[in-house]
């Protein structure tokens, strides 16, 4: 009997919670640890080697060897597709060594490679599993190419440096993107400290909590944890919120786990005068679950990727205009995530929603001279109305609207979907069905907001 059946038949909440703990919480936590312990050990080993005072060549080699080992651990022989991408990137950089457009050229080549994989030249299940590592490698290579063009990286990296950077064990599986400069700092090996260990322990604990919430709590949120009932359309919205929360916390799990591996491998710190601060942050869950705006959601979902998209895509496309630059940025994000209809639909919808929200709130802020922009105003802003009750009310309304949009968009990531379909990616019919069940509400609201903006 499943946990769901027990919860339905049980007369008390205690029995349900006990069944949930035994049937889901403990197995989930155990399985999560079993899947990553080798990765954590390799990250620690890489960190120790970088602290031994060996030559830089040995450090880069250890990073490369560790990355290849964890790739094999997770993907076995399918890891060759990631290695091929790494080698292809270096070859392109080498061939265009005298060019000032290496970033654009490499981006096009990577796009073609990704499209070839997405168009089922490789088994879709296998490709989908490797998509995260492929994306991290692509982002690193593209950022390095643009940094070489801009002079941010002065010396062309050797093959060992390049491969060590791309295959850095702290980021090759779960991310996040780190710059070449951050990798170099990690290789130089700052000392281990209580702060370093504390960051690892806290991030790993948070990752496991988020994994448990995603798998064991979010699917049973209503009415077993929050006593809200509903039938028909209300029930569909409650179920959509459960799916959204489950998906959100699966992202937080990966985010905190990537913090753990990155810091354990020696990256993810900043220097503050006379001390080192291990302050890498991949996601800000509170800004997503209780957002001020959809703009805040987008930037807080994956901070390193948001930084990467802003630095290497949005700013490069800004000469086309703000709205075209936003579309280019979200299109680039969709392509990096793969040719998945549901992800593309979500990301492009996000692009339109964030743009409409931004321009509408900017217009309202100008009309009423109030701090109701998508982003929080600085303390010395020129608005006359800052802490009025109605200002808080307007911001609260847009926060609720953001949660509404997130519920709608997150409804696609159905936890009850067949695992094979989830591995291959959801079909277009699934996206259309889910949004049809919710009457395309978010898109209609977005359209209404745009009409309102146009009228005022």
- Would you please indicate which residues are annotated as catalytic (active-site) residues? 337
- Residue at token pair 């699917």: 219
In sequence order, which residues have a C-beta less than 8 Å from that of residue 448 and are 6 or more positions away? none
Phi/psi region, residue 12 (left: phi>0; alpha: psi -120 to 50; beta: rest), is beta
Tell me if 170 sits within 8 A of 261, measured CB to CB.
yes
Tokens of residue 176, six digits: 């996040």
φ/ψ (deg, to 5) at 198: -65, -40
Q: ∠ CA 130-216-200 to the nearest 5 degrees?
A: 60
Output Rg (C-alpha) for the chain, integer angstroms.
Answer: 23
Tokens representing residue 20 in the block:
């949930």
Is 276 strand, coil or helix? strand
Beta bridge partners of 275: 272
> Would you list the DSSP string of 299-339?
HHH-HHHHHHHIIIIIHHHGGG-HHHHHHHHHHHHHHHH-S
> Any residues with CB less than 8 A from the CB of 350 and at least 6 apart, and which?
294, 298, 330, 409
Q: Residue 334: how many CA atoms within 13 Å on its side-chain side?
A: 19
- Residue 134 and residue 114 in contact, taking contact as beta carbons nearer than 8 Å: yes
Distance CA 256, CA 268 (A): 12
């Amino acid at each position: 009997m499943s946990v769901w059946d027990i919860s339905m038949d049980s007369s008390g909440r205690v029995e349900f919670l006990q069944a949930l703990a035994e049937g889901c919480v403990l197995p989930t936590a155990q399985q999560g640890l079993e899947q990553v312990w080798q990765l954590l050990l390799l990250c620690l080993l890489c960190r120790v080697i970088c602290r031994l005072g060996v030559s830089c060549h040995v450090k880069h080699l250890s990073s490369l060897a560790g990355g290849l080992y964890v790739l094999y651990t997770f993907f076995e022989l399918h890891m060759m597709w990631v290695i091929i991408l790494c080698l292809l990137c270096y070859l392109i950089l080498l061939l265009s060594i005298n060019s000032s457009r290496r970033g654009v050229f490499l981006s096009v080549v990577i796009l073609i490679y990704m499209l070839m994989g997405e168009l089922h030249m490789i088994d879709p299940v296998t490709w989908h599993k490797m998509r995260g590592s492929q994306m991290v490698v692509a982002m690193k290579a593209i950022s390095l190419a643009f940094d070489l063009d801009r002079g941010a990286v002065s010396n062309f990296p050797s093959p060992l440096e390049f491969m060590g950077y791309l295959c850095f064990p702290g980021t090759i599986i779960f991310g996040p993107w780190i710059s070449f400069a951050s990798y170099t700092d990690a290789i130089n090996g700052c000392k281990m400290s209580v702060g370093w260990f504390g960051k690892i322990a806290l991030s790993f604990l948070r990752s496991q909590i988020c994994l448990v919430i995603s798998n064991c709590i979010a699917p049973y949120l209503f009415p077993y944890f929050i006593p809200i009932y509903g039938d028909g359309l209300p029930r569909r919205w409650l179920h959509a919120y459960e799916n959204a929360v489950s998906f959100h916390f699966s992202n937080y799990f990966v985010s905190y786990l990537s913090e753990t591996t990155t810091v354990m491998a020696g990256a993810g710190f900043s220097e503050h005068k006379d001390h080192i601060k291990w302050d890498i942050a991949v996601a800000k869950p509170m800004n997503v679950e209780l957002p001020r705006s959809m703009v805040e959601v987008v930037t807080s979902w994956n901070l390193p990727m948001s930084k990467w998209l802003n630095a290497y895509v949005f700013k490069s496309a800004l000469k086309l205009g703000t709205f075209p630059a936003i579309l280019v940025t979200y299109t680039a994000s969709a392509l990096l995530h793969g040719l998945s209809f549901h992800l593309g639909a979500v990301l492009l919808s996000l692009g339109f929603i964030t743009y409409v929200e931004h321009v509408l709130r900017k217009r309202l802020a100008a009309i009423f001279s109030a701090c109701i922009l998508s982003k929080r105003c600085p303390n010395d802003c020129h608005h006359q109305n800052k802490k009025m009750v109605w200002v808080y009310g307007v911001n609260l309304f847009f926060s609720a609207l953001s949660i509404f949009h997130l519920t709608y968009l997150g409804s696609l990531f159905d936890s009850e979907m067949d695992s094979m379909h989830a591995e291959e990616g959801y079909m277009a019919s699934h996206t259309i069905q889910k949004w049809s069940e919710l009457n395309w509400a978010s898109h209609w609201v977005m359209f209404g907001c745009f009409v309102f903006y146009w009228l005022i």
